[in-house]
Structures are given as structure tokens and as C-alpha cells.
Amino acid sequence: MSAYQRQNTQFKDEFCLVKALADVGYTQVEVHETPQQLVGYHGDMRQRANIIVRRQFIGGASNDIGFLKNADGFYEAIVSDYDSHKHNKLWMTSLLKAYAAHGLLKQAPQLGLIFMSKKINAAGKPQIQFAVR
């Protein structure tokens, strides 16, 4: 049985986090007002989380991964030791970049900006272009 590790994140917006998870390949995501149990490889019930990617969508012998909303409004990532080789610091950085891009897209109308395009540059970094209203 693989132990779960918790990691504080910068994620506070549920919508942007779910969109970011889709950007990194997880389109099947559960969102719960009340935290639900994560399930391990052997079907054992584990920690609880509000946003869950079930193990069948992660692959192989994986466990569920989740994000628990804390009292301060920020989400805490919950990833098993087994899955930490795939969901490591590099993966979390990719998720954070996707989250930030969705945050910009969400805030753009309030800032008087109109979304024009989104592309990946030669360095592999996303570029978002806006126009001023």
C-alpha cells in the first residue's frame, strides 16, 4: 500500500484547476462540495479530496490523485508515493502554468481585454494574446 503525500499549492479557483487538469490530460475529473475518499490500487479507501482524478484515468497500477480545499481556500495536492514519479515537481509546474493561463482567460473580460489567440511558442511555453476593448 502506497502512502499519500500532501503538497500545498497556489490553486484557489476550482474552475481553473479543473481546466488545467484537462490541459495536462485529465478530462475525467470529479468535483465534490464535500470531500470524498480517494481509492487506492487495491480498492482501499484513502484520504479525502474535493477534486479527484480516479485511478482508471491515470493508468496502470495507479491510485486516485486529489485536491483538498483547505480552510484558507487553497487546494492541497494529494498524490501517492507510487504516483509521485509521474506527478512530480515538473508535472505540478505544468499544471500551475495551465492554471495561470486559465486564470488570465477568466479575468480578461473584467480587465477590459478580449482574448485573441493561444499558442505554444518554440520554447514550449504557452503564449496568450489579448486585445484591449
Distance CA 98, CA 86 (A): 17
State how far the Cα of 44 lies from the Cα of 1, in Å rounded to an integer.
Answer: 9
- Predicted confidence pLDDT, tens digits, the chain (133 residues): 568 889 999 999 999 999 999 999 999 999 999 999 999 888 878 799 999 999 999 987 899 999 999 999 999 999 999 999 999 999 999 999 999 989 988 988 888 888 888 887 787 777 888 888 7
Let me know: does 113 contact 133? Beta carbons within 8 Å: yes
**Domain spans, the chain:** 4-98
DSSP one-letter code for 44 = -
Distant-in-sequence, close-in-space partners of 120: CB < 8 Å, separation ≥ 6: 126, 127
